[in-house]
């Protein structure tokens, strides 16, 4: 199985909800939309550069769309990378539990020395 995608049973073992990736992507899209809106509004102040009304509106819309897209891509990749790191950390913790239990209780180990 691909390391990037876990089965629902493995995700439950790791303590992550089955829709964790969809949730982080949705949240990243919201943040990207807000960043784009903010960028568009801020860049719409080009009246000080001597642009007329139509050019100012066009500049604000274009800046908002482009910055929103780029921020959404960045937020999405960051959120998914953090989710993968959390999955790897939890997987590593689950793998260490049997080793720790074997060290604590050597008599209950399946392979006694």
Q: What is the per-residue pLDDT across 9-62, written as a single tens digit (0 to 9) for each?
A: 555 455 677 788 889 999 999 999 999 988 888 876 655 667 788 888 888 888
Phi first, then psi, for residue 51 (nearest 5°) are: -80, 145
CA distance 72 to 34: 9
Domains of the chain: which residue ranges?
A: 20-99
CA distance 56 to 16: 46
Residue 7: what pLDDT?
56
Residue 108: what pLDDT?
57
Name the DSSP class of 6. -
Report the predicted TM-score, pTM, of the whole model to 2 decimal places: 0.64
CA distance 20 to 14: 11
């Amino acid at each position: 199985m691909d390391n990037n995608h876990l089965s629902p049973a493995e995700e439950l073992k790791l303590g992550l909800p089955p829709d964790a990736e969809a949730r982080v992507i949705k949240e990243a899209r919201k943040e990207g939309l807000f960043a784009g809106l903010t960028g568009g509004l801020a860049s719409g102040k080009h009246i000080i550069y001597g642009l007329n009304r139509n050019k100012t509106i066009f500049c604000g819309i274009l800046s908002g769309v482009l910055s929103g897209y780029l921020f959404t891509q960045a937020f999405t990749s960051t959120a998914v990378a953090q989710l993968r790191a959390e999955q790897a950390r939890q997987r590593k913790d689950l793998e260490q539990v049997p080793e720790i239990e074997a060290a604590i209780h050597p008599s209950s180990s399946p392979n006694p020395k």
